Amino acid sequence: MHNKTYLHWFFATVICFLSISVSAATIDKQPKNLSKKAGQYAQFSTLVSGKNLRLQWFKDGKKIAGATRRTLVLSKVRIANAGTYYLRAADAQSTVYSRRVNLSVNGITTAPPAVASISKHPVSVTKKVGQYAQFTVSLSNVVRPKFQWFLNGQALQGANKRLLSIPWVTGKSAGAYSVTVSHADGKLRSKVAALKVKGVSGSPNPNPGSEEENPAPPSGSVGDTGPVIQLNPSSEAVIQGESVTLNVGATGTGTLKYSWRKDGKIIYTSGLPSYTITAMSLSDLGAYDVVVSDQSGSSTSSKAILSLQDDRQVTLAWLPPDQRVDGSALPASEIKGYRVYHIGSDKKDYVHDVEGGATEFTINDLGKGVHYFSMTSIDNRGRESDPSEMVNKTIR
C-alpha cells in the first residue's frame, strides 16, 4: 500500500517512440544468474514484448506475491531467498517463460525447507462473568490451514477459525482451550491456555485428553443471548489517504443489524457486516467496534485500533536511455549503472549507485520533511550523463 513517486527520465532532447505490432508475447532479454551476500541488493531484469501483457515471477515454482513487473527486486536478500527464479509473460494469444536462473546467497543456492509451526500459542486469561474473551493462534509457513478449537479435550462445534471469540463469559466457559491446525503437510497442536472465571469455584485443569472423540457443543463460543461473533474486526495501520475496511463475522437469528462505533459512539448502522473509510485521515484514528443485533439480543465485538502508518518510502522508476547527447545510439549493454542523488530533509546529500539493468530503485526510512531526487546514467567507460529533472516527495 506504499505510495510511489515515479521519475520518468529521458536523456535526449527528442526521443522517437515506434509503434510496433507484436503478434505474441516474447522475452527479448533473459534474466541472469546472481550471486549475493546476505543483506545485499539483488535484481532480476528482463525485456518483454507484447500487448496487454500479464507478468508473474516465480521462485522454486511458486508465485511471488506482487511480483508482476518485468524486473524483480530483492532489496536485502536472505538465505531464504536463495533458489530458482523465472518470469511468465502472457497475452491474449500466448504464454512464454524466461529461462530459469539461480540466486545464490552466501554460496547457498537452495533455501532450506520452511518448517510449518505455531509461532504464537493461545494465552491464558482471567475474566468476569459477562465479559468478552478470545483466544488466537499465529502460524508460520503453513499452507491451507484448517482450525479446530477444543475445550477440555472436546471439539467445539463451529469453532474453526484462527480466532475463537467468547462474547459473553459464563461459568461454563471456564476450562482448558487448545487448537489443532491441519495443513497440507500434517497437523499441529497448540499449547493449552486456561480461561479462569472470577467468582466460579474450581480452577481449570488443562488436560487436552483425546482431541478426536466426543464432540461437544461450543461452550464458550456462544453467548447466552444475541448473535455469535465469530470474526472480530482487526486493528490496522493505514497510510494517510488510503482506504480501509473493517469486517465482522457473526451468526444469529433472522436479519442481523450492525451498529459500528468509534470510541464508543455509534457512527454507522446498516445490514452490512463491514465499514469502509475511503480516505484515512487524522480524524479517523481511534478504537472501533460493532454491536451486532438480532431478535434475541445483541453482542459486541472486540475493539480494532486504526492508526496511521508511516509512509517513509519512495520508489524512483525510469526508462533506460537509448541515445547519447550527440544523437548516436546507446545500447543497453553500454550502460554500466545509474547514480541517484538525494537531498534529504536534513539538508544532507546522499548518493546511491544502482546496477545497470535496474529500472527502479527504492529508498526506505526517509525522515519527515521534503526530499529531492535526481539521477544520472554511467556508461561502461565511466562517463556520467547530465542529471535528470529533479522530483520531490514530502514525508509527513
Question: In this structure, are 101 and 164 located in the same domain?
Answer: no
Tell me the CATH number at 71. Answer: 2.60.40.10
> ∠ CA(354), CA(73), CA(76), 5° rounding?
80
Mean pLDDT of the chain: 80
Q: State whether 94 and 152 are in the same domain.
A: no
Residue 300 in any domain: the answer is yes
Does residue 359 lie in a domain region? yes
Handedness of CA 213, 120, 128, 230 (dihedral sign): negative
Helix (H, G, I), strand (E, B) or coil at 195: strand
Residue 11 has a CB neighbour count (10 Å cut-off) of 19
Tally of residues, the chain:
396
Domain match, 326 and 296 both: no
Query: Is residue 160 in some structural domain?
Result: yes
Asked whether the CA dihedral 215, 220, 221, 222 is positive or negative, the reply is positive
β-bridge mates for residue 90, sequence order: 54, 95
In a domain, 389, yes or no: yes
Say yes or no: 135 and 191 in one domain. Answer: yes
End-to-end CA distance of the chain: 16
Q: Cell 567507460 appears where? A: 381
- 330 and 266 within one domain: no
Residue ending a domain, among 247, 275, 308, is 308
Q: Does residue 9 fall inside a structural domain?
A: no
Its sign, for the CA torsion 138, 139, 144, 145, is negative
Contact 208, 194 (CB under 8 A): no
The string of pLDDT tens digits covering residues 156-211 is: 988 888 889 888 888 888 888 999 998 866 788 898 888 998 876 544 444 433 33
Q: Are residues 94 and 123 in the same domain?
A: no
- The per-residue pLDDT for range 365-377, each reduced to its tens digit, is 788 888 888 888 9
Residue 241 and residue 300 in one domain: yes
Owning domain of residue 72: 26-105
Same domain? 259 vs 320: no
Nearest-angstrom CA–CA distance, 114 and 143: 11
Q: What is the pLDDT of residue 212?
A: 31
Residue 77 lies in a domain: yes
Query: Using CA atoms, how far apart are residues 280 and 311, in angstroms rounded to an integer?
Result: 13
Is there a domain that residue 1 lies in? no
Strand partners, 372: 343, 392
End-of-domain residue from the set 292, 308, 324: 308
| 216 Cβ contact partners less than 8 Å away, ≥ 6 residues apart | 151, 154, 155, 156, 157
- Residue 123, domain member (yes or no): yes
**Residue at a domain's end among 308, 339, 369:** 308
Q: Which of these ranges, 149-153, 156-160, 250-254, 328-332, has the smallest mean pLDDT?
A: 250-254
* 322 and 276 inside one domain: no
Report yes or no: 39 and 75 within 8 Å, Cβ to Cβ.
Answer: no
Our count of domains for the chain comes to: 4
Residue 362 has pLDDT above 90, yes or no: no
